[in-house]
């Protein structure tokens, strides 16, 4: 009886130990699961040029398949830049310029319809999307220099693609650049379309700024030196939540 009781107690202890081990493992797995859900990717920046290229390819393939049309994509050498270019449709040329913080994928839901009556060219502006991010050696220190930088790059892209006269459609920041380009090269614009365009007003004169408290002026100086897209990139995996 004593031997049997000892065996039963040993078996019970073993079962208890197994249950405690299983319970502890379950708790650890649950904690790891909660940790992995709450914490972002360890790569910090969960984006890459390869992922962007894959996403763009999926979008263009879906458009070509659903509309039974040909979609072309290539990189255009324009000055110091490689400009990502997409072409679709046939007819008079229509060039699309996206807005700030966007890319040619912004037009994804409009490309097929616009291409019914036009040869549509959609690009990633320099510094956006898959286009290169070359910075002029002299830098861009004034609004006029930045405007000339974009206009000259767009014009170099047009020359590389033999576009002498075309309709130009710009959204938001792209609308602003479209207007600048039309002012600089009016003979090349068959039609100018600006969708929700915006611009940057000139800064107030120094004497007007003196009316504001010093702390507000200091905050303004700090914010004026910060690139909002750089802030999103530095935020890494949390960047998407800031948009």
Calculate mean pLDDT across residues 131-156.
87
pLDDT for res 216: 81
DSSP 45: S
Please say if the pLDDT value at position 11 is more than 70. Answer: no
Give burial (CB, 10 Å; 0-12/13-18/19+) of 35: exposed
CA max distance for the chain: 108
> Of 233, 240, 243, 238, whose CA–CA distance to 39 is shortest?
238
CB of 198 closer than 8 Å to CB of 173 = yes
DSSP 72: E
Q: Is 41 helix (H, G, I), strand (E, B) or coil?
A: coil
Structure tokens at 212: 């504001």
Please say if the pLDDT value at position 40 is more than 70. Answer: no
Structure tokens at 142: 């004034």
pLDDT for res 185: 98
Please say if the pLDDT value at position 53 is more than 80. Answer: yes
Please say if the pLDDT value at position 39 is more than 60. Answer: no
Please say if the pLDDT value at position 239 is more than 90. Answer: no
Give DSSP secondary structure letters for 152-217.
HHHHHHHHHTT-SSEEEEEETHHHHHHHHHHHH-GGGEEEEEEES----PPPPPHHHHTTS-HHHH
Q: What is the mean pLDDT of the chain?
A: 81
DSSP 124: P
Structure tokens at 213: 């408290």
């Amino acid at each position: 009886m004593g031997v049997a009781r000892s065996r039963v107690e040993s078996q019970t202890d073993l079962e208890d130990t197994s249950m405690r081990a299983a319970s502890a493992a379950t708790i650890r797995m649950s904690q790891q699961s909660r940790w992995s859900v709450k914490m972002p990717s360890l790569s910090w920046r969960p984006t890459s040029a390869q992922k962007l290229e894959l996403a763009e390819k999926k979008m263009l393939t879906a458009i070509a398949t659903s509309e039974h049309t040909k979609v072309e994509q290539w990189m255009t050498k324009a000055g110091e830049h490689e400009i990502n270019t997409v072409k679709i449709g046939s007819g008079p040329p229509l060039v699309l310029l996206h807005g700030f913080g966007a890319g040619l994928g912004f037009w994804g839901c409009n490309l097929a319809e616009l291409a019914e009556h036009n040869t549509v060219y959609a690009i990633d502006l320099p510094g956006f999307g898959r286009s290169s991010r070359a910075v002029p050696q002299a830098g861009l220190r004034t609004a006029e220099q930045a405007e000339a930088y974009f206009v000259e790059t767009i014009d170099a892209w047009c020359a590389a693609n033999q576009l002498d006269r075309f309709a130009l459609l710009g959204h938001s920041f792209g609308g602003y650049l479209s207007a600048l380009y039309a002012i600089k090269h009016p003979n090349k614009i068959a039609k100018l379309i600006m969708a929700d365009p915006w611009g940057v007003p000139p800064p107030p004169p120094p004497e007007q700024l003196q009316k504001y408290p010093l702390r507000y002026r200091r905050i303004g100086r700090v914010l004026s030196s910060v690139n909002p897209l750089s802030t999103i990139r530095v935020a890494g995996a949390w960047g998407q939540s800031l948009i």
